[in-house]
Structure 1
């Protein structure tokens, strides 16, 4: 579904990503591990097409088609969605009105309940939400938007353990399901704590540092290595 080849990216003239190669197949969930400032969020922003991220070499393909010349809106219309780490507040736009605009009012109640957000559906989006509530709302937003490729920017950061479990279960459920047209989905989760690995069933994990993908491997084994040796390439690699 997603194919990244020899990708180099700069922001304000400064290189932030170097020679990134990554493939994500239908139905797969990958986890991107790395310290703060390693380029993880920059990679997601480039895939989504956020302003300021300029590809200087390489390409990104979604379902075989290049994304380079497409706007953020065009990429969203293709089926790419993101749960942001720090989304804006939207006063005057309630959660229920947002769901109605997406034609997703029928699933709002059940999905909000699964994320312990039933009391939030009449409130304005992110207005007065705590950090953990914002993270849960971002996951609920993806259920409402119904994308095929889902990008999760540190979904467990700032969330209490009880709700990390709910977020992990929701990520696992949505990435392993089909969209409303019956097409398989896929997901890419970035994290520096690795805590989310306790609650999702990732197919592949990648270490990122200094804007480069250093190594890919089995998620649990790779995280154990990181816990003991930091963000380094395993000796047996």
Structure 2
């Protein structure tokens, strides 16, 4: 018998995003099914981080038109807290420090103390557990902790903003392995995860099981292809789609 259609984990439908009245992203359409990891590639200033922040509901990024569906539910009007509760999580490119709040205390607040040591060990940041969150962390420590944080938050849809930037080549493998582990592990409620990750270097593709790649230029997704094929094409010809 034919299988019933899968409800996408995340659907972006004709999304337009502005900051202080200036439109940054235009007519974004994207569908990510459970179990899929999509890669977003593009030059600096093309709107990639803006898109992830807007999906997460972070101000001052404003969705001026279009809809965001999470498991078929319209979350376009949700604030950041409700989006997180609904199953969205973001590993920030430049996370802020939380002085006076230790990693252990944050894990307790997330109800994830039982997962803390395993997640921190997987990312090689177990020695940071009793430090204040993101305070005095190196660039590599920040990125590894952000991935560990997602494991504690247990989102169904994971957003990664350049998780390999500022990380040495050896630790890129650690980050990639942890992302694959997160993607292969269902949520506490039994749902298969999905992900959207930004990469500039392409090193992430050496270890992450990516499903599709999207090229973003001037706030628009202008090309979608196999992620490795897309990155190789960009290396050869630059950010210009093939005819």
**Shift in Å at residue 176 of structure 1?**
2.2
RMSD: 0.9
Alignment of 1:21-170 (within 5 A): 21-170=29-178
| Structure 2 counterpart SS, 1:43 | helix
When structure 1 is superposed on structure 2, of 54-63 and 134-143 the one drifting more is 54-63
Secondary structure, counterpart of 1:213 in structure 2: strand
Work out which of the residue numbers 202, 205, 209 in structure 2 matches 1:194: 202
Q: CA deviation at 1:114?
A: 1.2
Select 2:235's aligned residue among 205, 227, 232: 227
- Per-residue CA distance 1:196-235 (angstroms, 9 max, x = gap): 1111010000000100001101111111101101112123
**Structure 2 unaligned regions, length at least 5:** 1-8
Question: What's the offset of the Cα at 1:6?
Answer: 1.1
Give distance in 2, aligned partners of 1:95 and 1:200: 26
Give the aligned partner of residue 15 of structure 1.
Answer: 23
Residue in 2 aligned with 1:211?
219
Counterpart of 1:173 in 2: which secondary structure? helix
Q: Distance in 2 between matches of 1:33 and 1:151?
A: 14
TM-score, with structure 2 as normaliser: 0.94
Rounded to whole Å, the distance in 2 between the matches of 1:69 and 1:32 is: 24
Deviation at 1:51, TM superposition (A): 1.1
Contact 1:176 1:186 in 2 (8 A): no
Give the 4+ runs in structure 1 shifted more than 2 A. none
Residue 16 of structure 1, CA deviation = 0.2
Distance 1:54 1:141 in 2: 25
Residues 5 and 58 in structure 1, CA contact (< 8 A), matched pair in contact too: yes
Once residues 46 and 201 of structure 2 are traced to their aligned partners in structure 1, the CA distance between those partners, rounded to angstroms, is 13
User: How does the TM-score come out when normalised to structure 1?
Assistant: 0.97
Q: Distance in 1 between matches of 2:92 and 2:39?
A: 16
Say if 2:186 is the partner of 1:178.
yes
Aligned length in residues: 235
